[in-house]
Amino acid sequence: MRGSPGNEIARDIERRAAEWVARLDLGGTAEEHSALDVWLRENSRHHAAFVRLSAAWERADSLRNLRPLDGTVDPDLLLWNDDAAPLRVKRGVLVVACVVVVVLGILAIAAFA
């Protein structure tokens, strides 16, 4: 099933903005900068998508600072840990239980007020 024309246009704008961000990250020529300026002025949605994706690109680029100084990655960090799954499930059950207790408390206070 195809998306609506509005969704396709939005995807095209996002794709084009992503291409511009990636192209300019490599430097970009004077002609490319001029072409980008024209594209940005064509539609405010172009400018919004470009700004949003540029900011995301910068945030993603800052992740490089989080890598170990020696550049190595502990392979165990990349493995799925089945032992951690029960802890995640227990935490989720605890959160739901807390929410239920709070809601019941609010209902009890409202009933007796």
Inform me whether the pLDDT recorded for 1 exceeds 50.
no
Indicate the pTM of the whole model. Answer: 0.54
The per-residue pLDDT for range 66-106, each reduced to its tens digit, is 777 777 766 666 665 555 555 555 666 777 778 888 888 88
59 with 102, same domain? no
Number of independent structural domains in the chain: 2
7 with 24, same domain? yes
87 with 59, same domain? no
Burial class, 42, CB count within 10 angstroms (exposed 0-12 / middle 13-18 / buried 19+): exposed
C-beta of residue 18 within 8 angstroms of C-beta of residue 60: no
The per-residue pLDDT for range 19-31, each reduced to its tens digit, is 999 888 888 899 9
25 with 53, same domain? yes
Q: Which domain holds residue 113?
A: 80-113
34 with 65, same domain? yes
Burial class, 21, CB count within 10 angstroms (exposed 0-12 / middle 13-18 / buried 19+): buried
53 with 88, same domain? no
53 with 87, same domain? no
